[in-house]
A and B are shown apart, each in its own frame.
Chain A
Amino acid sequence: MIKHFKLKKGLDINLKGHAPHSVKAVPTKGIYSVMPNDFYGFKPKPVVKEGDSVLAGDALFINKEIPELKVVAPVSGTVTAVVRGERRKLLSIDVEAGSEQRYKSFDVKCSTGEDVKALLLEAGLFAFIRQRPYDIVANPNDTPKGIFVSTFSKMPLAQDFSFALQGEEAYLQAGINALAKIAKVHVGVSPEQEDVMCSLLPDTDIYVFSGPNPAGNVGVQINHISPVNKGEVVWAIGAEEVVFIGRLVKEGHVDLTRTIAVAGGEVKEPTYCKTLVGAPLAALLHDNLKRNEHIRIINGNPLVGIKTDINGHLAAKVTEVTVIPEGDDKDEVLGWIMPRLKDFSTNRSYFTWLQGKKKEYNLDARIKGGERHIIMSGEYDRYLPMDIYGGYLIKAILTGDLDRMEALGIYEVAPEDFAVAEFADSSKLELQRIVREGLDLLRKEG
């Protein structure tokens, strides 16, 4: 079945430094680091200690609350550190890659949904599945009403999955087929991908979403395909992570190789890199930065990614690493009244509207304004293509009103769905953080 959706709300931001379609292979060496923070909702407990040698696919840490949920090593080698922070919170487990990669092999049995679940849990790939409500790692004991996969992202500088998929098509098919044993799989694609995906996945429900960012967000797609009601659970997983599942099913081992986009205005030569989850960013950005100071390296895209630095590691669920100017060295006089031709704005008091959609902007990380109460009305709804009153939901969260959050549809959203609205917000509120706090509060009370 194919269904088309045309979304109008949203905003495409054209940033400088798109990665052209060419791939650079990055050799597997150095320290690979897996961070429990990337698996939101996990109460991590390490199952390895310093000095242990592991195979790619061996568990590094498990979830205390659901012990069968585990996260595995992307590489084989020696555990060099179990890094803990304040109050002994587990921050990361570092593995030094051995000279030759050896994989743990798994007994692949996929005849029923339970088999697939057990296999994914055992191989640590289950931890890549997120659930709605709450946008946390899915609970294997739930029965989801559907599994949703979005095969594109409209975020600025995001990875082009169609390109990353080249050569991996069979794995995507195998992954989708395996997931379909657990629950009905719904795949959201962009209009450009429609033909390819329809021929690759003839038995799957395909939904074609056209429209600006965040049309590629799985949450937006769920809202249009089958919105989450109170008491229901749906699962979502990234398209490249479905490829991981496909590799496991076909090859019998865990291979967390991604084709990530290294992009942004501060990257000398934007490119795609074939690398592994947890890879050191220094290896990806080596000799490829325009300067070393006053830049911001982001794990992910500039709207939902997390700020990191050159010593950071590729986060588990991101498909791009972006580098933009930090802007902390800029002093702009009377900026609020200047024409600011190089800046991007949704407001027509600036001249973005005059400069066409092709112009690329090299935006820096300055907030460009002070935090205020919500003044303008409807500002969030314009960038939230869901049947939800964004401004009212945000206010309900700020006032901690659980019943109203529920009534206004918080179960349907994830922080990332508010990313575009947060960009455009003239009151400069941290909407993603606010939504996250609302979801956490609801999870704790519920």
Chain B
Amino acid sequence: MNFIKKFFDKTRPTFSEGGKLHALRSVYEGFESFLLVPNTTSKSGVSIHDAIDSKRIMSMVVIALMPAMLFGMYNIGYQHYMAAGLDGSLMEMFAYGLLALLPKIVVSYAVGLGIEFVVAQYKHEEIQEGYLVTGLIVPLILPINCPLWMMALAIAFAVIFAKEIFGGTGMNIFNVALVARAFLFFSYSGKMTGDEVWVANESILGLGKDLPDTFTCATPLAEVGSGQMSASLNDMVVGLIPGSVGETSVIAIALGAALLLWTGIASWKTMLSVFVGGGLTAALFHATGSTPIEWYEHLVLGGFCFGAVFMATDPVTSARTEGGKYIYGFLIGVIAILVRVLNPGYPEGMMLAILFMNLFAPLIDYFFVQHNINRRLKRIKN
């Protein structure tokens, strides 16, 4: 492994201030610290440090997203082959999905990390890892037929206006991936909802076949709105239903959730509260006859699980006080179901619920912190 060090030692002058390629300094440093742990030691403060850092944390989230991503790839192929009436092997279907999704992931990282590199260079800071997670989440929460250029535009908008102008990872108010999705949802709703976007409709490198333009396929959640749901509970849990790429399989998401909870990167308080809030609200609506499906079907349908596991728990945009996390999560669950049920179109409520609560998280925290402050003030008076 010595050659890596030698390589970086040799090329360092080129990228340092005054070197030929110093405009790429942030990229160079990003790659160096990615490949080699910097042996910078502390000058003041504690002399020893925990081995955890934000690179590790973000990588864990990326790993946690893997089952959902891999299953999403398979499901893209599965849905296409079903729609086309083709008989494909598991590998064929997966390969089709891989080819359909890979360009999205590549473009997502290229655009988002590109902006991060430029900002890091401009601010003379290290590259922040936050986008590693956002960059994978965005393709997973979009329908497969969303055009690449739209996604690229949405990502650029979200990274610049939802993150960088606030000061970068850790300072943003809204979940960046959801801002990208919301941007698309409101700007190009035709490509985000409806019955044409959920099944890949083209042949890729000889795999699959072109579907007729008239082909449509609704998500089970949309079918609930029109009163005729065809998917079984089993399909919904396993995930072989049309939907955004990564959101369909409850099992795959549960694997990711297990890793996030075990490593403590996601808060169990937030995650649990989302399900409790959503479950109770859905049960209430079912009891009053406002929704035809059971509460547990609400929880496994659409983006509820994916949002609860990967986006409600985003530590930056969620409530930061321990007590606040319960309220924050609970209200996300409540609002997500509210949006679904009280709206005749049955759109996905999770995105709006999380963004809405992102806005209120500081307010929730305010009450908890203020309680602590008041206790301190009261102590003086006594």
Residues of A within 8 A of B49 (CB): 363, 366-369, 423, 428
B52 contacts A378, C-beta separation under 8 Å: no
Q: Does B214 have its Cβ within 8 Å of any Cβ on chain A? A: no
Q: Is A409 a contact partner of B47 (Cβ separation < 8 A)?
A: no
Q: Separation in Å of the B368 CB from the closest CB of chain A? A: 8
Inter-chain pairs besides A347-B265, A422-B46, 18 sampled, C-beta below 8 Å: A298-B47, A303-B48, A326-B41, A331-B37, A332-B37, A337-B59, A349-B56, A364-B41, A367-B40, A369-B54, A372-B54, A372-B128, A375-B57, A375-B316, A376-B265, A408-B376, A422-B45, A431-B45
CB B126 to nearest CB in A, in angstroms, measures 5
B22 at the interface (CB under 8 A from A): no
Give which listed residue, B5, B59, B130, B315, contacts A331 with CB less than 8 A: B5
- B residues 231-274 in Cβ contact with A at 8 Å: 262-265, 267
Within 8 Å CB of B4, what residues of A? 333
In this assembly, does A346 line the interface, its C-beta being within 8 Å of a C-beta of chain B?
yes
Contacts of A350 in B (CB 8 A): 51-52
Is B37 a contact of A335 with CB atoms below 8 Å? yes
Interface magnitude class on chain B? 35 or more
Contact assessment for A423 and B33 in the assembled complex, using a CB-CB cutoff below 8 Å: no
Smallest CB gap from B376: residue in A: A409
A378 contacts which chain B residues (CB < 8 A)? 267, 320-322
| A425 CB-CB contact with B under 8 Å | yes
B320 adjacent to A391 (CB under 8 Å) = yes
A-B contact list, 22 entries, CB within 8 Å: A13-B48, A15-B48, A227-B376, A307-B44, A328-B41, A329-B39, A331-B5, A334-B34, A336-B55, A350-B52, A363-B49, A365-B47, A369-B52, A370-B53, A373-B168, A375-B130, A375-B316, A378-B267, A389-B369, A419-B46, A424-B50, A424-B52
B44 contacts across to A, CB distance below 8 A: 306-307, 430, 432-433
Please tell me if B171 contacts chain A, counting CB pairs below 8 Å: yes
Indicate with 1 or 0, residue by residue over A332-348, a CB within 8 angstroms of chain B CB atoms.
11111100100111111
Asked whether any CB of chain A lies closer than 8 Å to the CB of B13, the reply is: no
**For residue B41, which residues in chain A have a CB less than 8 angstroms away from its CB?**
296, 326-328, 364-367
Shortest distance from the beta carbon of A87 to any chain B beta carbon, whole Å: 20
- Closest Cβ neighbor of B324 among chain A residues: A377
Which chain B residues (138-152) contact chain A, with CB distance < 8 Å? none
B288 at the interface (CB under 8 A from A): no
A374 within 8 A of B: yes
Chain A 289-320: CB-based contact to B (< 8 A → 1; otherwise 0):
00000001010001111110000000000000
> Would A349 and B320 count as touching, CB distance under 8 A?
no
Q: Is A330 an interface residue (CB 8 A)?
A: yes
Q: How far is the CA of A349 from the CA of B54 in the complex (A)?
A: 12
Q: Which residues of B contact A327 (CB under 8 A)?
A: 39, 41
Q: Verify if B165 is at the interface (C-beta below 8 Å from A).
A: no
Contact residue among B128, B265, B322, B380 (Cβ-Cβ distance under 8 Å from A229): B380
Q: Would you call B206 an interface residue if the criterion is a C-beta within 8 Å of the partner chain's C-beta atoms?
A: no
**Chain A: which residue is nearest B4 at the CB level?**
A333
Which of B39, B51, B267, B325 interacts with A344 by CB under 8 Å? B51
* Docked-complex contact B372 and A332, CB < 8 angstroms: no
What is the interface of chain A mostly: helix, strand, loop, or mixed?
A: loop
Asked whether A388 is an interface residue with its Cβ less than 8 Å from the other chain, the reply is yes
Query: Which of A324, A332, A373, A426 touches B48 (beta carbons < 8 Å)?
Result: A324
- Contacting pair A408 B372 (CB below 8 A): yes
Q: Which residues of A contact B168 (CB under 8 A)?
A: 373
A426 to chain B: which residues have CB within 8 Å?
50, 52-54, 56-57
Min Cβ gap A171→B in Å is 32
Please state if A302 and B46 are interface contacts (CB–CB under 8 Å).
Answer: yes
Q: Give Cα A229 to B382, complex, Å.
A: 11
Q: Which of B46, B54, B168: most chain A Cβ within 10 A?
A: B46
Give the interface centre of B39, B44, B322 by most chain A CB atoms within 10 Å.
B39
- Chain A residues lying within 8 Å of B53, measured Cβ to Cβ, are 336, 368-370, 426, 428
Q: Chain B's interface: helix, strand, loop or mixed, by majority?
A: loop
Residue pairs across A and B with CB atoms within 8 Å: the count is 210
In the bound assembly, the distance between CA atoms of A338 and B376 in angstroms comes to 44
Q: Are A430 and B45 in contact (CB under 8 A)?
A: yes
The 8 closest A-B pairs by CB, nearest first: A369-B53, A373-B170, A335-B37, A377-B320, A343-B51, A336-B55, A365-B41, A332-B37
Assess whether A331 is in contact with B48, with CB atoms less than 8 Å apart.
no
Beta-carbon nearest neighbor of A426 in chain B: B52
Chain A proximity mask over B149-171: 1 for CB below 8 Å, otherwise 0: 00000000000000000011111
**Residues in A whose Cβ lies below 8 Å from that of B368:** 389
**Chain B 49-74 interface mask (CB, 8 Å, partner A; 1/0):** 11111111101100000000000000
B318 at the binding interface (Cβ < 8 Å)? yes
Q: Which residue of A lies closest to B373 (CB)?
A: A407
Q: Is the pair B43, A331 in contact by a Cβ cutoff of 8 Å?
A: no
CB atoms of B39 and A305 under 8 A apart: no
| A380-415 Cβ-contact flags toward B at 8 Å (1 or 0) | 010000011101100000000000000111000000
Closest Cβ of chain A to B52, distance in Å, is 4
User: Within the assembled complex, what's the spacing in Å between the Cα atoms of A305 and B60?
Assistant: 33
Interface check A80, CB cutoff 8 A: no
B36 on the interface (CB 8 Å rule)?
A: yes
> Does A230 reach chain B (CB closer than 8 Å)?
yes
Q: Which residues of B contact A431 (CB under 8 A)?
A: 45
Residues of chain B lying within 8 A (CB to CB) of residue A298: 47
Q: CB distance B51 to A333 under 8 Å? A: no
Closest Cβ of chain B: how far from A8's Cβ, in Å? 13
Q: Does B35 contact A (CB under 8 A)?
A: yes
Question: Shortest Cβ distance from B34 into chain A, in angstroms?
Answer: 8
Q: Is A427 an interface residue (CB 8 A)?
A: yes
Given contacts A328-B39, A377-B320, A389-B372, contact A432 B380 (CB under 8 A): no
